[in-house]
C-alpha cells in the first residue's frame, strides 16, 4: 500500500526541543563533529535529512531510466559496456543512500512506496527525454557534472552516514562526468552532423542542468536551516555559479555554444554571468508536468511490479537461513 506522508513520524508535528540540548547539538555541529545514528538529534534535523537523502536516492534510481533507454542502442561495444556500468553505478548510489536514510529510522520499503505513490520528489532533470546518443554525452558531462558540484561538499555533511556514502558516490560520478565529456569530444571532432547532435543536446540540457541546483536562494525554503546544521555547505546559487564557471570553458573547448544570449564573463568578479532561469518551467516539472514525468513513474512502477519475484525469493531465502540457523 502506498503511503502519503514522508514517513509515519512525519504525520506528527515537531515537538518543541529542550533549548539546552539543542544548544549542545549545535555546538557539536559548529565544532565540525559528525552526528551519528545513535546520537541525540532534533526531530527537525532528522526529518530534513530523511527528506534530502530520500530525494537524492530516488533521483539516482529514476536517473537510471533516461540513460538505460540507450543501452541497447549504444554505438559500439565499448560504449555499451561503459553505459551499462554507469547505470549500474547509479543503482548502487541509490542503495547506499536508502541505507543511509534507514539509519534515521525510516524503512527503504516506506521510501520506495512514497516514490511509487508520487508523493516523493526526485531531481527535475530526469523528466527530460534522451532523444539522441549525444544526450548520453550531455548527461554525463552536464548532469553528472552538476551532481559532483553539489555532492562534493556533501562529503562534509554533518550527518556521518550521508557524508560517508557521498565519498564513493563522488568518485564514481567523477568518472561518469569524464566519460560523458569524452562522448561529447568525440562527437565534436566527428562529422558536421555529429557536432550538430552535440550542440542540440547541449541546447536541450543546459537550462534543466542549471535547475538541478534548486530554486534561487531568495526562494529556497530549506537552505538557511540546512546550512546552519551544516547539511548543506553552499547555497543553491553559489553551487550553480561554480558549475557555470567550470562548464563554460569546457563548452568552448568543445567548440559548442551555450544557449544563453546573456552569458558574459565579468572581468571584475571573475565569474560568468548568465541569463534568467525559466522558474515557471522548473515549477511545472516539480508539479509532475514535465515532458517525461508520467512516463518515468509508469516505468518505475512497472519495474517494481516485475521485480516482485526477486524480492519474494530474497525474503524466502532469508527466512530459510534464519530457520536453519535457529535449528542448528
Ligand atoms: N528537482 O529549499 P530548497 C543524481 C525541491 S543528481 C526536484 O532549495 P533543499 C544523479 C526541494 O526538494 C540529483 N525538486 O531545498 C546524477 C524542496 O522541496 P520539498 C540528486 C527540487 O533541499 C547523475 C523545494 O524544491 N541530487 O542523483 O535545501 C546521474 C525547495 O528547494 C529540485 C541530490 O538530491 C530539483 N532540481 O535544496 C544519476 C543532491 N531542487 O522537499 C543521478 C542532494 C529543489 O520541500 N540534495 N527541489 O518538497 C540537495 O543538495 C538539495 O536537496 C537540493 C535542494 C539542492 C536539491
pLDDT of residue 328: 86
Hey, whose CA ends up nearest to atom 5 of ligand 1? 214
Shortest-distance atom of ligand 1 to CA 173: 23
Query: With 90 as the cut, is the pLDDT of residue 110 above it?
Result: yes
Residue whose CA is at the smallest distance from ligand 1 atom 9 = 222
- Taking only Cα atoms into account, the Rg of the chain, rounded to an integer number of angstroms, comes to 21
Looking at ligand 1, which atom is closest to the CA of residue 144?
Answer: 23
- Atom in ligand 1 nearest the alpha carbon of residue 123: 1
User: Which pLDDT band, with edges at 50, 70 and 90, does 14 fall under?
Assistant: low
Task: Using the predicted structure, report yes or no on whether residue 298 has a pLDDT greater than 50.
Answer: yes
Ligand 1 atom nearest residue 122's Cα: 7
Nine cell digits for residue 252: 568552448
Which residue has its alpha carbon closest to ligand 1 atom 15? Answer: 222
Which pLDDT tens digit goes with each residue over 217-274? 999 999 999 999 999 999 999 999 999 999 999 999 999 999 999 999 999 999 999 9
Ligand 1 atom closest to residue 214's alpha carbon, by position in its atom list: 40
What pLDDT shows up at residue 57? 98
Q: Which of 258, 262, 229, 230 is nearest to 243 (CA)?
A: 258
pLDDT in tens, 111-153: 999 999 999 999 999 999 999 999 999 999 999 999 999 999 9
> Structure pTM?
0.94
CA 227 to ligand 1 centroid distance, Å: 14
pLDDT-based confidence at residue 67 (cuts at 50, 70, 90): very high
- Ligand 1 site residues (CB inside 6 A) read 51-52, 55-56, 59-60, 63, 90, 121, 123-124, 143-144, 147, 150, 211-215, 220-223, 226, 236, 286
36: left (phi over 0), alpha (psi -120 to 50) or beta: beta
Say how many Å lie between the first and final Cα of the chain, rounded: 36
Residue nearest ligand 1's atom 37 by CA: 214
Say if residue 9's pLDDT is above 70: no
SS3 per-residue string spanning the chain: CCCCCCCHHHHCCCCCCCHHHHHHHHHHHHCCCCECCCCCCCHHHHHHHHHHHHHHHHHHHHCHHHHHCCHHHCCCHHHHHHHHHHHHHHHHHHHHHHHHHHCCCCCHHHHHHHHHHCCCCCCHHHHCCCCCHHHHHHHHHHHHHHHHHHHCHHHHCCEHHHHHHHHHHHHHHHHHHHHHHHHHHHHHCCCHHHHHHHHHHHHHHHHHHHHCCCCCHHHCCCHHHHHHCCCCCCCHHHHHHHHHHHHHHHHHHHCCCCCCCCCEEECCCCEEECCCCCHHHHHHHHHHHCCCHHHHHHHHHHHHHHCHHHHHHHHHHHHHHHHHHHHC
Tell me what the pLDDT averaged over the chain comes to: 95
CB-based burial label for 299 (10 Å; 0-12, 13-18, 19+):
middle
Amino acid at each position: 500500500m502506498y503511503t502519503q506522508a514522508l514517513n509515519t513520524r512525519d504525520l506528527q508535528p515537531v515537538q518543541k526541543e529542550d533549548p539546552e540540548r539543542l544548544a549542545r547539538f549545535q555546538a557539536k555541529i559548529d565544532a565540525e563533529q559528525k552526528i551519528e545514528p545513535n546520537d541525540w538529534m532534533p526531530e527537525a534535523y532528522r526529518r530534513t535529512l530523511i527528506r534530502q537523502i530520500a530525494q537524492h536516492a530516488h533521483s539516482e534510481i529514476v536517473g537510471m531510466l533516461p540513460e538505460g533507454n540507450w543501452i541497447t542502442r549504444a554505438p559500439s561495444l565499448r560504449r555499451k559496456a561503459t553505459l551499462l556500468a554507469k547505470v549500474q553505478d547509479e543503482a548502487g548510489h541509490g542503495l547506499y543512500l536508502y541505507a543511509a536514510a534507514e539509519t534515521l529510522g525510516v524503512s527503504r520499503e516506506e521510501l520506495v512506496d512514497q516514490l511509487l505513490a508520487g508523493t516523493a520528489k526526485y531531481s527535475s532533470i530526469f523528466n527530460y527525454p534522451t532523444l539522441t546518443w549525444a544526450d548520453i554525452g550531455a548527461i554525463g558531462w552536464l548532469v553528472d557534472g552538476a551532481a559532483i558540484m553539489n555532492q562534493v561538499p556533501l562529503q562534509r555533511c554533518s550527518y556521518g552516514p550521508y557524508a560517508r556514502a557521498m565519498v564513493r558516490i563522488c568518485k564514481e560520478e567523477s568518472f561518469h562526468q569524464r566519460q560523458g565529456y569524452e562522448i561529447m569530444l568525440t562527437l565534436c571532432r566527428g562529422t558536421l552532423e555529429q557536432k550538430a547532435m552535440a550542440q542540440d543536446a547541449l541546447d536541450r540540457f543546459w537550462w534543466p542542468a542549471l535547475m538541478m541546483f534548486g530554486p534561487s536562494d531568495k526562494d529556497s525554503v530549506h537552505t538557511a536551516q540546512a546550512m546552519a546544521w551544516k547539511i548543506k555547505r553552499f547555497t543553491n546559487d553559489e553551487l550553480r555559479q561554480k558549475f557555470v564557471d567550470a562548464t563554460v570553458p569546457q563548452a568552448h573547448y568543445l567548440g559548442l555554444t551555450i544557449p544563453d544570449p546573456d552569458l558574459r564573463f565579468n572581468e571584475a568578479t571573475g565569474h560568468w554571468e548568465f541569463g534568467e532561469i525559466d522558474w515557471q518551467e522548473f515549477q511545472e516539472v516539480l508539479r509532475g508536468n514535465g515532458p517525461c514525468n508520467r512516463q518515468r513513474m509508469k516505468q518505475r512502477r512497472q519495474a517494481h511490479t516485475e521485480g516482485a519475484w526477486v524480492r519474494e525469493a530474497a525474503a524466502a531465502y532469508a527466512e530459510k537461513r534464519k530457520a536453519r540457523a535457529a535449528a542448528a
